[in-house]
Every structure is written in structure tokens, then in C-alpha cells.
């Protein structure tokens, strides 16, 4: 029987399957990731059928056509090493470019072993994003005045959140943020001083423990304050934080709390690297949607 690979749009139910595969791979997805990711961009999810059987897929998310992100790339283990992954990846790249405005860049967080492969597709290395784990997050600690300027993010003006987020992410993402902040089994906090947002963070329940993402802050004390509150919410399980290595203050934070490096990805871009306030990025949002 000849092998026919069909690349097509993925259904909502198949996104649940993709998340299950991600859990098997050890990516530790959030409890509500499938619903939130679909709501952000339903057209982002691409399926690959082999003779009518779903064997792989991934996401090609676009943010208003201004920025794209490739993530969630999975091929079932029994179908690897046969060229299907390359065909799926090339098709996703082509489709995402067609969904973007001319000159828009694409980002991705690829595992280190695939970095050379992605480079052949035009992606250029920017920096490493490293996943750290804290087994006893309640020891995070808090500053003496902790709490007086930390609020639930839903209580703060949403336009301030969107504006601040845009300094740390390559495009506006209001739809994503609305769902991400309000998701169940999570806590979203902001630090406000002088009626101005100085940082914010979200911690969500995952298959194993919790993940903080994003964690954006003006400076180390603000990041520390937010981290302390978010970590306390995760006191009944391990806590994970994906940290950009190009922010020394973020690397110092995980060292201070004796977090252990457990995983990592190479942040790469096709097209110009976005101009961001990297010193504000203490934790990236997700490896799947950027």
C-alpha cells in the first residue's frame, strides 16, 4: 500500500489529542491549554494523516498577521525517521508564511538537537530558554513589604496589561491574554506602583505541578515579589519556570531559589529578531505559542 500523507486543518477534538501526545513527550501541558490555545487562533492547528490515520501535527499561530509562532510540533514515535516530520514541518512553515503580513517574523522554541535542522529552514538562533524546577516552591521567600503593590491582574486596567505585554512579546495578543488571565486553576497577578503596571505573572496548574508563565517585570525586586506570590499558589506541587538565558537577572532569580535546570529550547527567528525589552522577561509564556 502506498503511503499518502495529507496535511490539513486540525479539528478541536484533535487538539486535545495533540495535547495528550505532548504530555506523553514530557512537555507537561497546562490543564486548560487546548481550549485556550484553540481560542487564540483556531486556524493555527495543522494535522497530518497517513493513509487516513492521524500521525502528527503542530501549531502555526499568527498574532494579527504581525508575528507568527511555530510550536507543538509532534510526530508519533512509530512514524519518526521516515521523512514525515520533514514534510509536516515544511508544510507548516509555508502555510504560516502565507498567513502573515509581508516582512513579518516567525519565532519558535526548538529542542537543541533539532537546531541545525531548523537553521536549514532559515531560522537564526537568538538565545536559549531554559526550564527550571523548584521542588519546594513555598521556600521562595518574600520581601518585607511584599503585598502592598501586588494585585490580582483582573483588578487592574486591561489596557495596561496589553501595553506592558507588548514590550515583552513581538505583537499584540489581546485575545490570548483575556483567556490566559482568567483561566481556572491559575493565579494572575500584577504589580502596580504610582498607578502604573510594573510587571505581571501567571501561574497555572499543569499535568505535573505548576508553571509560571509569563513572568514580566521592570526589575529584579518586582520579579521576586511576583514570583513569591505565584510560588505560594503552587505550594502543593513542583513549580516550573522557563527562563531566557539572555536576561542575567532572570538567571540570578532561579539561582537564588535553587531551582534545577531540567529542559531547554533554542529560541530562533525566521526574519528580523523582534525588538523586545529582554531585561523585563524573567519567564516566557509558553514554548507552544510563544
Domain coordinates of the chain in residue numbers? 5-129, 132-262
Distances (CA, A) of 268 to 84, 170, 240: 22, 13, 22
Identical fold, 5-129 and 132-262: yes
- What is the pTM (predicted TM-score) of this model? 0.94
Q: How many CB atoms lie within 10 A of CB 198?
A: 22
pLDDT tens digits, residue range 33-89? 999 999 999 999 999 999 999 999 999 999 999 999 999 999 999 999 999 999 999
Task: Give 142's pLDDT tier (boundaries 50, 70, 90).
Answer: very low
User: What's 5-129's CATH class?
Assistant: alpha beta
Would you say 93 and 69 are in contact if contact means Cβ atoms under 8 Å apart?
Answer: no
Average pLDDT of the chain is: 94
Number of neighbouring beta carbons within 10 Å of residue 30: 25
Strands 53-63 and 45-50: antiparallel
Please compute, for residue 286, the number of CA atoms within 13 A of its CA located in the half-sphere on the CB side.
24
* Structure confidence at residue 139 (pLDDT): 45
Pairing, β 67-75 against β 53-63: antiparallel
SS3 state at 119? helix
Are the C-beta atoms of residues 154 and 188 closer than 8 Å to each other?
Answer: yes
Q: What is the pLDDT of residues 240-256, one digit of tens each?
A: 999 999 999 999 999 99
CATH code of domain 132-262: 3.40.630.30
Taking residues 133-162, what's their average pLDDT? 76
Longest dimension (CA), the chain: 69
Produce one character per residue of 209-232: b if its CB has 16 or more CB atoms within 10 Å, e if not: bbbbbbbbbbebebbbbbbbbbbe
Question: Are 261 and 132 in contact, with CB atoms under 8 Å apart?
Answer: yes
- The span from the CA of 89 to the CA of 100, in Å, is 17
In angstroms, rounded to a whole number, what is the distance separating the alpha carbons of residues 212 and 285?
8
Other Cβ atoms less than 10 A from the Cβ of 147: the count is 11
Rounded Cα distance between 290 and 267, Å, is 10
Q: Contact at 8 Å (CB) between 143 and 227?
A: no
- Identify the pLDDT of residue 257: 94
pLDDT of res. 180: 98
pLDDT at residue 235, rounded to an integer: 80
The 10 Å CB-count burial string (b at 16+, else e) for 67-105 is bbbbbbbbbbeebeeeebbeebbebbbebbbeebeeebb
pLDDT of residue 140: 44
Closest CA to 203 of 194, 193, 214: 214
pLDDT at 148: 80
In this predicted structure, which of 14-18, 156-160, 233-237 has the lowest mean pLDDT? 233-237
pLDDT at 141 over 60: no
pLDDT at 137 over 70: no
Looking at the chain, the whole-number percentage of residues with pLDDT higher than 70 is 95
Residue 147's pLDDT band, with cuts at 50, 70 and 90, is low
Q: Judge whether 269 and 235 are in contact, CB under 8 Å.
A: no
Structure confidence at residue 254 (pLDDT): 97
Facing residues of 263 across strands? 131
pLDDT tens per residue, range 105-116:
999 999 999 999
pLDDT digits (tens, 9 = 90+) for 223-237: 999 999 999 999 888
pLDDT confidence of residue 143 = 38
Report whether pLDDT(144) > 60: no
| Per-residue pLDDT at 2 | 65
Amino acid at each position: 500500500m502506498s503511503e499518502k500523507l495529507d496535511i490539513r486543518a486540525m479539528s478541536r477534538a484533535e487538539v486535545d489529542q495533540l495535547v495528550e501526545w505532548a504530555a506523553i513527550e514530557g512537555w507537561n501541558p497546562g490543564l486548560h491549554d487546548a481550549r485556550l490555545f484553540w481560542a487564540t487562533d483556531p486556524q493555527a492547528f495543522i494535522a497530518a494523516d497517513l493513509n487516513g490515520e492521524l500521525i502528527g501535527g503542530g501549531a502555526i499561530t499568527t498574532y494579527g498577521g504581525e508575528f507568527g509562532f511555530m510550536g507543538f510540533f509532534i510526530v508519533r514515535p512509530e512514524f519518526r525517521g521516515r521523512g514525515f516530520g520533514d514534510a509536516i514541518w515544511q508544510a507548516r512553515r509555508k502555510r504560516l508564511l502565507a498567513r502573515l503580513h509581508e516582512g513579518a517574523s516567525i519565532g519558535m522554541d526548538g529542542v537543541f538537537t533539532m537546531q541545525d535542522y531548523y537553521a536549514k529552514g532559515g531560522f537564526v538562533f537568538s538565545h536559549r530558554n531554559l526550564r527550571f524546577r523548584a521542588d519546594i516552591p513555598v521556600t521562595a521567600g518574600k520581601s518585607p513589604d511584599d503585598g502592598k503593590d501586588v494585585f490580582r491582574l483582573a483588578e487592574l486596567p486591561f489596557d495596561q496589561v496589553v501595553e506592558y505585554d507588548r514590550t515583552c512579546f513581538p505583537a499584540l495578543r489581546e485575545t490570548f491574554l483575556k483567556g490566559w488571565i482568567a483561566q481556572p486553576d491559575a493565579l494572575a497577578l500584577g504589580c502596580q506602583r504610582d498607578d502604573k503596571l510594573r510587571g505581571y505573572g501567571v501561574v497555572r496548574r499543569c499535568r505535573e505541578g505548576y508553571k509560571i508563565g509569563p513572568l514580566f517585570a521592570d526589575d529584579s525586586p518586582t520579579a521576586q515579589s511576583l514570583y513569591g506570590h505565584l510560588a505560594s499558589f503552587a505550594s502543593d506541587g513542583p513549580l516550573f519556570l522557563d527562563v531566557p538565558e539572555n536576561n542575567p537577572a532572570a538567571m540570578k532569580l532561579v539561582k537564588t531559589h535553587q531551582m534545577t535546570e531540567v529542559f531547554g529550547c533554542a529560541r530562533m527567528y525566521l526574519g528580523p529578531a523582534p525588538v523586545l525589552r529582554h531585561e523585563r522577561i524573567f519567564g516566557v509564556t509558553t514554548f507552544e505559542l510563544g
